[in-house]
Structure formats: structure tokens, C-alpha cells
Amino acid sequence: MTDLADLEAGLTGRVAAAPDTAALEAIRVEALGKTGAVSALLKSLGSMSPDERKTQGPLINGLRDRVAAAIAGRKTELEAAELDARLAAGRLDLSLPAPPRRRGAVHPTMQVMDEMIAIFADMGFALAEGPDIEDDFHNFTALNFPPKHPAREMHDTFFLNPGPDGERKLLRTHTSPVQVRTMQKTNTPPGASWIAAGQSPPIRIISPGRTYRMDSDATHTPMFHQIEGLVIDREIHMGHLKWTLDQFIARFFELESVVTRFRPHHFPFTEPSAEMDVQCDTSGGEVKIGQGTEWSEIVGCGMVHPNVLLSCGIDPDEWQGFAFGFGVDRLGRLKYGMPDLRDMFASDTRWLSHYGFSAFAAPNPASGLS
């Protein structure tokens, strides 16, 4: 036998006997790797005379091809055998309980916001937003709070440190400044993309958002949520306000109809002003809306004060309208019965998994949008 035939017989014999893919890989490197025996032969062709190369070339190349083919064939065999062995050894026990999966939940306030927005959107209200950090003008002055008047104090305002110009910004104490920003068309600060841009009348917007007051007990938290409503047109009156609120309340509480009453109140930015109460029953320890003989306060409202329209450049002899402000967290408590408002923002995941909602629930079964 020639040296080449010896080499080929040795290599193919070892390939056939390789017990696993690792051993086979070692043989491949030994034969065909950079410094392998077959590679060395191929390299030696370069230093042969043309005649010699003519005879040796086909022999060496043939050897290389056959060895490579033998290795590839054995590799396929070994891989199939190794897969069979793994499948035979491994067992999947489908009866084992799955590891627990932690699922997030929608916070009740966000759920209630979505429900409220869905109902008002269905009634044709657009969405407007404004900044949490406000100035005195939008939060108070334009809303007809007299300067230095105690009415300003009643909001327990969080003030920020004065800026270089001496102006003290504040955390908005209500969502009413969005009324002003909408009517003044200034609710689009540079770089922000609030949903509804400011507009001229007719106006029909709601404005949901966070509000802040220095207050903390079972029914107050320093940060809470409101939804403001504003409708401005030529002939809007209190009857429209009552109808809108009655419709909303019935749909929100998923009732055919509700009994409500206006109670005279005072807000600087409305005249006349009222609080609306809804009929309820608290005798069983929980609040049941739509039955009983008691009243639960549900929303502040009124006809927009002419001074507010004037501050926003709208002629009160031509335009008039109503406004209202709901406490979202309070409404959530009435509907879903959370006992202490402070728990809502304590970030306790046990509380959230108890009171939270599935992210896939429809916003409101009573809403035509759901």
C-alpha cells in the first residue's frame, strides 16, 4: 500500500470507530485542520514539479474529499444517535404545577379614569390636559379667586421655591386651570403634545389628571385625581348641566337612572355654583348608589363665571357654559368600595392585586365604546 492509501485507511477506520461527536471533531482537526495531515499533503503540492503535481494532485484531492465525506457521514450518524439518547433519557412531567407567574393589575384609579373618559367620549367630549406644575394665574387668578383672598388658602397649596423672577409656581390644586388653558388656547406648552389643543368656543372638553393639596386622612391624600368638564356655547344652561351629570352618573354606576339634587354652593369660578348629590343608602355599612334615602356628594359644578370667560378673552355676552369637577378617587371608592383612600397610593402590591383590574377588561360595560 502506498503512504496515501495507508493514511486514508487509518483515518477512515478511526472515523468509523469514533464513539461520539467530540472524538470525531478531534479526528477532523487532526486530518483536515490547519496543521492536519491531509492539509500538509495539500500544501506539499505547491513545491512539486508540474509533472509530479499532475499525478499527485488528483490522488491527494481525492483522499481529502473521501476523508471529508466519511467525517460528514459519521457526524450525521452520531448526532442522530445522541439526539435519540437525549430523548430517551429526558422526561417532561406535565403533571408538575407551573411556577407562579406575577401579573400586574390596573390601578383602580386608572380603571375609573378610563371608565369616565369612555362615557364622556361617548357623549362627544374631547380630552384636554395641562401641566401639574402651574402658576398662580392659571390656578387662581384667571378662575376669579380674588388676590390675597382667603379662598386661595382653602386649597392648602404646595408651593415651589420662587424662581429667578420671584414667581412661586405651585402644584395645581385642581384641574380647573385646564379650563383656562383651553379657552386661552395655551394648553400646549412647547415640546408637549397635549391631546386637545386650545380652542375657541364652542368648547366641550374633559380634563383628567393629578391634583395636589396638603391634606392626608382616610378620605384625603396629598395627591389625588380629578376630571374637569367644560362646555361653552351660546345657549348652554343649568338644564344641560343637570342632564349631562345625570346621564354620566347613571352610566358610571350602571343604573337605568339616578335621583340627584343640586345643593347651592360657592366656587369663585362659577355662578351659580352647586354641588350635586346622588341618592344612596349607607345602612348596610357600604354605600349603595341609586337607592335609599340618603345623599352622597358627588361633583362640584356651576355656570362658568363671566369673569373667567373675560380672563380668557371670551365675550360673556355672546358665550356661556357650565363646568364641573369630579374627584376620581372618591368616585372609585363609591363604586368599588375601597375603605381608606390613603391605601390607594401606598404601592402595596397585595392591595393592588386585591382591588386591581385586568388590563384586558373593557373600560365600562355601560359604555357604547367598550
Point out which residues bind ligand DAH (CB under 6 A). 174, 176, 228, 267, 270, 300-302, 323-325
Least distance to ligand DAH from the beta carbon of 182, Å?
12
Least distance to ligand DAH from the beta carbon of 275, Å?
8
Q: Which is nearer to ligand DAH, 157 or 367 (CB)?
A: 157
Q: Which is nearer to ligand DAH, 179 or 364 (CB)?
A: 179
Least distance to ligand DAH from the beta carbon of 229, Å?
7
Nearest partner of 289 among 325, 324, 333, 327, judged by Cα: 333
Cβ proximity of 280 and 295 under 8 Å = yes
**Residue 259 has which C-alpha cell?**
335621583
Alpha-carbon distance 24 to 186, whole Å?
A: 76
Centroid of chain to Cα 163:
33
Alpha-carbon distance 157 to 368, whole Å?
A: 38
Whole-angstrom Cα Rg for the chain: 39
Residue nearest to ligand DAH (CB): 325
Collect contacts of 34-40 with beta carbons under 8 A, ≥24 apart: 37/7, 37/11, 38/7, 38/11, 38/63, 38/64, 38/67
Alpha-carbon distance 194 to 176, whole Å?
A: 16
Which amino acid is residue 111, in one-letter code? Q
Least distance to ligand DAH from the beta carbon of 247, Å?
17
Q: Which is nearer to ligand DAH, 229 or 363 (CB)?
A: 229
Q: Which is nearer to ligand DAH, 27 or 323 (CB)?
A: 323
Least distance to ligand DAH from the beta carbon of 327, Å?
8
Alpha-carbon distance 28 to 9, whole Å?
A: 14
Which amino acid is residue 106, in one-letter code? V
Alpha-carbon distance 238 to 302, whole Å?
A: 7
Q: Which is nearer to ligand DAH, 172 or 251 (CB)?
A: 172
Q: Which is nearer to ligand DAH, 15 or 301 (CB)?
A: 301
Least distance to ligand DAH from the beta carbon of 175, Å?
7
Least distance to ligand DAH from the beta carbon of 115, Å?
19
Alpha-carbon distance 321 to 179, whole Å?
A: 11
Q: Which is nearer to ligand DAH, 71 or 278 (CB)?
A: 278
Least distance to ligand DAH from the beta carbon of 264, Å?
12
Residues 6+ apart with CB under 8 A from 78: 18, 20, 21, 24
Q: Which is nearer to ligand DAH, 18 or 298 (CB)?
A: 298
Least distance to ligand DAH from the beta carbon of 201, Å?
16
Q: Which is nearer to ligand DAH, 292 or 306 (CB)?
A: 306
